């Protein structure tokens, strides 16, 4: 069950549960992201606030994050619900992928870098699951410059839309410009649907070949993710070929963290129950924060060894045109009486279905 009791602590001082909301990090079409301080141990967190009435399924992102355990995906720590809002407490990652290139809006804001320059993928609000029963999806959602042509044509699609988005991001990283870009959206869409984009001559032939494969109009002709990781250009200079991420063997709860929390006043049995049953309440959130290698949290509240500048979230805009985030979904009011769906046991450690992350723009390829 998600933490509904913490909703009692939402007040005009921008406090929710054990978190003080400090600064706005960014605004999206359906949510806002805040830098917050966890009052128990003084750690910086990122809190995504979703207006329930503005989104068809505000828990979609929660369910997606529960299915994923990956070092390159932002960790969900706690979920707090109120009548009108959903609060997703997540680890704070302090810079986006293009910060070092110093470009303004031309950046995939959902691909982040932590302070050790490790990639973290965030924002699963537009994610969807592909199963054997539903191998194709039809809802149109995402950010326009990164949308695959089949989605723009309102055709059923599968995970190959993410392959296209990887190609857009890769091209943007290599050339500092978005492929298919034009002076207005009509021309931009025409370029996408016709596959017209310039490939700079300064790119190596291997790189050009990969871009052309990723940005192939026919989704059936685009490479699968396993084939992308076998690409010669991506593996250049490495002894071992890229391989899919393998989840490490599960270990028991960390007794050192449990003892530290017990010294803070937490009950040991409650800690074990909260984490093993994945309640995403303040107890589980505190445990995950203390166990996160990216947070060197002080043992006493009030001290601070974090130096994490805030990072705004941005959308891609054309001059004199409205924002480009898409989500075509029938209006569906959300009742506060349905804020506690049952969690799948151990779902955080297994991924039986495939996720399509329309607004992620790029999954991470890790060298193993």
- Looking at residue 2, what is its pLDDT? 52
Q: Are residues 166 and 215 in the same domain?
A: yes
Closest CA to 122 of 90, 167, 158: 90
Q: Would you say residue 44 lies in a domain?
A: yes
Residue 191's pLDDT is what?
95
> What are the tens digits of pLDDT across the range 83-128?
888 899 988 876 554 443 222 223 467 777 777 777 877 776 666 7
pLDDT of residue 300: 39
Asked if residue 218 is part of any domain, the answer here is yes
* Positions marked catalytic: 105
Structural domain includes residue 334? no
Selection from 285, 351, 358, 349 nearest residue 328 by Cα: 358
Residue 250 is predicted with a pLDDT of 62
101 plus 32 within the same structural domain = yes
Cβ neighbours for 267, distance < 8 A, ≥ 6 positions apart:
none
pLDDT of residue 249: 64
Asked whether residue 162 is domain-assigned, the answer is: yes
Q: What pLDDT digit, counting tens, does each position of 239-264 carry?
A: 888 887 776 666 789 999 999 999 99
In which domain, by residue range, is 231 found?
A: 148-245
Judgement on whether residues 81 and 112 belong to the same structural domain of the protein: yes
In a domain? residue 32: yes
Three-point CA angle 5, 25, 70, nearest 5°: 70
Give this prediction's pTM. 0.59
Q: How far apart are CA 283 and CA 324, in angstroms?
A: 38
Query: Residue 185's domain is classified under what CATH number?
Result: 1.10.510.10
- Determine the distance from the C-alpha atom of residue 344 to the mean position of all C-alpha atoms in its chain, rounded to a whole number: 20
15's enclosing H/E stretch is strand 15-16
- Which portions of the chain are predicted below pLDDT 50? 1, 4-12, 97-107, 294-368
């Amino acid at each position: 069950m998600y933490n509904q009791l913490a909703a009692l602590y939402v007040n005009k001082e921008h406090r929710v549960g054990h978190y003080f909301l400090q600064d706005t990090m960014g605004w999206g079409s359906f949510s806002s992201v805040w830098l917050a301080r966890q009052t128990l141990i003084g750690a910086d967190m990122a809190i995504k606030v979703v207006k329930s009435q503005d989104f068809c399924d505000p828990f979609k992102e929660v369910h997606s994050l529960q299915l994923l355990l990956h070092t390159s995906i932002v960790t969900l720590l706690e979920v707090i619900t109120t009548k009108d809002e959903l609060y997703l407490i997540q680890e704070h990652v302090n810079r986006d992928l293009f910060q070092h290139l110093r470009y303004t809006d031309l950046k995939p804001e959902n691909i982040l870098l932590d302070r050790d320059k490790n990639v973290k993928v965030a924002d699963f609000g537009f994610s969807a699951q592909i199963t054997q029963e539903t191998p194709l999806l039809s809802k149109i959602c995402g950010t326009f410059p990164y949308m695959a042509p089949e989605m723009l044509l309102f055709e059923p699609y599968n995970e190959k839309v993410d392959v296209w988005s990887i190609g857009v991001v890769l091209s943007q990283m290599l050339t500092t410009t978005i492929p298919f870009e034009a002076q207005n959206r009509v021309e931009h869409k025409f370029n996408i649907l016709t596959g017209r984009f310039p490939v700079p001559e300064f790119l190596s032939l291997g790189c050009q070949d990969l871009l052309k494969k990723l940005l192939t109009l026919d989704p059936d002709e685009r490479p699968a993710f396993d084939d992308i990781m076998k690409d010669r250009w991506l593996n250049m200079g490495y002894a071992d070929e890229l391989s899919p991420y393998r989840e490490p063997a599960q270990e028991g709860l960390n007794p050192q963290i449990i003892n530290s929390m017990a010294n803070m006043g937490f009950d040991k049995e409650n800690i074990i129950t909260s984490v093993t049953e994945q309640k995403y309440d303040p107890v589980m959130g505190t445990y995950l924060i203390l166990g996160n290698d990216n947070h060197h949290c002080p043992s006493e509240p009030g001290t601070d060894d974090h130096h994490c500048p805030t990072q705004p979230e941005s959308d891609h805009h054309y001059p004199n045109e409205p924002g480009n985030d898409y989500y075509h979904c029938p209006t569906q009011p959300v009742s506060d009486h349905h804020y506690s769906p049952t969690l799948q046991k151990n779902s955080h450690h297994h991924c039986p279905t495939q996720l399509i992350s329309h607004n992620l723009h790029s999954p991470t390829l890790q060298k193993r």
